[in-house]
Chains A and B, each alone.
Chain A
Amino acid sequence: MAKFARKRGKDSPAISTASLPDIIFMLLFFFMVVTVMRDATIMVDVVTPKATELDKLEKKSLVNYIYVGKPKEKYQTKAGTNARMQLGDKFATLSDIPLFLEKHRTKINEGQRGGIKTSLRVDEDVTMGIVSDIKTALRKAGQLLINYSAKPKTE
C-alpha cells in the first residue's frame, strides 16, 4: 500500500499536447469536406415553409435550384417588390428555365441524367401563381422530379 501512496504523491506528468494539432486537423478536414460553398448569392428572401414529410436531397451535383421570393431590399429598385424567380445568380423569367436546365444537364454524365432533381426553394408568403407557372415550365422542359424545399416541423 505504501508503494502506491508514494507513487500518487509524486507530481503527475503534464499531459502531452503534441497530438493537439492532429486532433484539430481532423476536425478541420471534417468541416472542409462537409462545407458546401454557396455558388450563387441569393437575391431573394426565402423562408421555406415547415413540413413533416421530408426527404433528404442526396447527390448535390444532381440538384439544381430555383429560388422564388421577394427581391431583397437592395435589389428592389431594379427588380421590384413582387415575387421574382432567381436562376443561378440572376433574376430570370419563365423563358429562361429550359436553357438553365440544359446548362446543368450538360455538366452531368449521361448515365445519371435521369436522377436530376430541381429543388424549388420558395418563400412561404409567395402566392401559387408564379409557382404553378414554374411547374408548368418544368413539365414542358421535361424536368419532372422536383423537391419542394422545406424545414422540419418541430412540435
Chain B
Amino acid sequence: MAKKSARDRMSNEVNAGSMADIAFLLLIFFLVTTTIAEDKGILAKLPPWSEDEPDITKLKKRNVYSVLVNADDQLLVRGELTSIENLKDDTKVFINNPDDRPDMAEAPTKAIVSLKHDRGTKYNTYLNVYNELQAAYSELRNDLAERKYGKLYEYCDREQRKTIRNAIPLIISEAEPSSFGEEN
C-alpha cells in the first residue's frame, strides 16, 4: 500500500516550463544564422554566342545611342563627355524623341543603345551606367502604361505588358570591351 501511494505522489506529467527556454534557444540560433534573402539585382539577358561580328553598318546612325565608358570611368555619350546624372534623362529623350529631331531615334522600337566599356572600367561604374539605361527604359514603359492602362507597368497583366514591351523594347547592345586601362 505504501508503495502504491508513493507512485501516486509522482506526477506523471513532464514539466513543460522549460519548453519555452529551449524554444528560445533554438530561435536565437536561427535568428543569428539567418541571412534574410537579400538577393536582388539587375536582370540582364545576354545575347547568344556567335563567332562572327555583328554587322552594324546597316543601322541608321540616328537610331544608335552610343555610350562609352573608359578606364577612368568617364562617360562619352554620342561623342560628348557627360556625367551619369544626365544619362537617364538624355536616354529617355533620345528614345522617345518628342520633338521629332532628325538626329534621334525614329521610333522607340528602332532605338538601340550601344554600350561599350574598357577592361579597366570599374564594375561599379559600369553597373551604374547599366542601371541608368535600364531606368530610362522602365520609366518610359511606366509612362506608356500609365497613359494606356492607367497603372504602372509592374501592375499590368501579362497581355498588357507584352504590348508595352513591344512598343518599347529594351535593346542594349554591348560591344567587346577595349583594353586600354589597367586591370586589377
Contacts and interface: CB of A to CB of B under 8 A. Distances in A.
Interface of A: 17, 20-21, 24-25, 27-28, 31-32, 34-38, 48-49, 51-57, 60, 63, 70, 82-83, 117, 119-120, 122-132, 135-136, 138-140, 142-152
Contact of A122 (B47, B117, B123): B123
20 contacts: A21-B19, A21-B23, A27-B27, A35-B33, A35-B35, A49-B128, A51-B42, A56-B39, A124-B127, A125-B123, A125-B184, A128-B118, A128-B123, A129-B177, A136-B49, A142-B48, A142-B49, A147-B41, A148-B130, A150-B131
A57 B184 contact: no
A48 B130 CA distance: 14
A140 B49 contact: yes
Interface residues of B, number: 50
Given A56-B39, A63-B39, A148-B41, 8 more contacts: A31-B31, A34-B34, A57-B39, A82-B184, A125-B124, A128-B123, A146-B44, A147-B44
B122 interface: yes
Contacts of A145: 43, 45-46
B56 interface: no
Contacts of A25: 23
B184 A83 contact: yes
Contacts of A135: 46
B53 to A, nearest CB: 14
Contacts, number: 160
A86 B151 CA distance: 42
B127 A148 contact: yes
Contact of A152 (B24, B40, B123): B40
A60 B179 CA distance: 35
B136 to A, nearest CB: 10
A130 B39 CA distance: 22
Interface in B146-184: 176-177, 179, 181-184
Given A24-B24, A31-B27, A53-B138, A128 B41 contact: no
A35 B117 contact: no
Contacts of B41: 48, 51, 54-55, 57, 119-120, 147-150
A150 B30 contact: no
Given A35-B34, A53-B42, A129 B119 contact: yes
B127 A51 contact: yes
Nearest to B119: A129
B20 interface: yes
A145 B42 CA distance: 11
A127 B123 contact: yes
Which 7 A-B pairs give the minimum distances between C-beta atoms?
A129-B119, A124-B124, A31-B30, A24-B23, A139-B49, A149-B41, A21-B19
A31 B184 contact: no
B126 A128 contact: yes
Interface in B2-36: 16, 19-20, 23-24, 26-27, 30-31, 33-36
A54 B183 CA distance: 27
Nearest to B120: A127
